[in-house]
Amino acid sequence: MHEALASCHANASCIDSICLDYSSFDNRYVYQQKGLGPIKESTLLVLDPSSSAVVHSTGRNLFYLPHGLSIDKNGNYWVTDVALHQVFKLASHGVESPLLTLGRAFQPGSDRNHFCQPTDVAVDPATGNVYVSDGYCNSRIIQFSPNGIFITQWGEETVLSQAKPGQFNIPHSLTMVSDFNQLCVADRENGRIQCFKPETGEFVREIRHPSFGKELFAVSYAPGSG
C-alpha cells in the first residue's frame, strides 16, 4: 500500500495543516491571497512505504490551501481546499484535471452549491455517496450522490457549553464505519466523536474519552480490529 501526502505553499506558516497568516481571509471568509497563485508543485505525493520513494504525484497548479485528503475504494483522491471552498476528486494516475469538483471557487456559502472552508471527505464504498464535513465556518455534514448531486445535509452549530447530538464546533474529520453502517465525525472543538447513519443523518452514538483532551482533530476506523 502506498501513502498519499498533501503539501502547502513553502512560504506560508502552517496551523492545523492549513497554511495561512492572519490576513488570509476577510470577515466573510473570502480568501485574500489569490495573488500568490495556486501551489505550483505537485500537491499529492504517493510514496512507497518501504523506500519512501515518490512513485506518483499529481495536483500541480490546482490547490491554494489543501486540507482534507481521503482515498475511495477505486483509488481516487478526494481533497478539500479551504481557500477555494471546494472539494476535488482526482484520479489516482494520469489525468491532472479533476474528475469532479464541488463548490464554487473562492465563493464561501452555506447552501447546497457552496461550502465554507470544508475540512474532509468520506466516500461510502457500498453506495459511492460522498460526505463532506463543512467545516470551519459552517457546522454541517453534506451528502452527495457519486456524481456530485446534492442529497441531504444535517448538523448545526453548538450554541451552549454542553453540545447536543448533531451539533458541531468544527466538524473536522470523517471516517466510514461500514461494518456498523455509520459515518463518524471528529467534532474538533467539542472534543468528541459523533456517529450517524450515513443515509439519513440520524444520530447513533457519541464517543468521549479523557485522552482526547479538549480538541479532537482526526478520526479513522480500522476494520481488522473494529
Q: Which of 86, 80, 84 is nearest to 66 (CA)?
A: 80
Residue 23 lies in a domain: no
Percentage of residues in the chain having pLDDT higher than 90: 83
What average pLDDT score do residues 188-201 get? 97
Q: Pairing relation of β-strands 44-47 and 54-58?
A: antiparallel
Which pLDDT band, with edges at 50, 70 and 90, does 192 fall under? very high
Which CATH number do you get for residue 84? 2.120.10.30
- The number of beta carbons lying within 10 Å of the beta carbon of residue 54 is 13
Residue 53 lies in a domain: no
Q: Which of 118, 46, 45, 110 is nearest to 81 (CA)?
A: 118
- In this model, does residue 145 exceed pLDDT 90? yes
Query: What does pLDDT average to over the chain?
Result: 91
Residue 78 lies in a domain: yes
Q: Which of 98, 1, 90 is nearest to 46 (CA)?
A: 1
Total residue count of the chain as it appears in this document: 226
By the 8 A CB rule, do 185 and 168 touch?
A: yes
Residue 92 lies in a domain: yes
C-alpha cell of residue 137: 465556518
Residue 21 lies in a domain: no
- In this model, does residue 90 exceed pLDDT 70? yes
Residue 198 lies in a domain: yes
Give me the number of domains the chain comprises.
1
- In this model, does residue 88 exceed pLDDT 50? yes
Domain that holds residue 199: 65-212
CA distances from 42 to 6, 25, 39, 102, 211 (A): 9, 24, 8, 21, 36
What average pLDDT score do residues 191-207 get? 97
Residue 104 lies in a domain: yes
Residue 4 lies in a domain: no
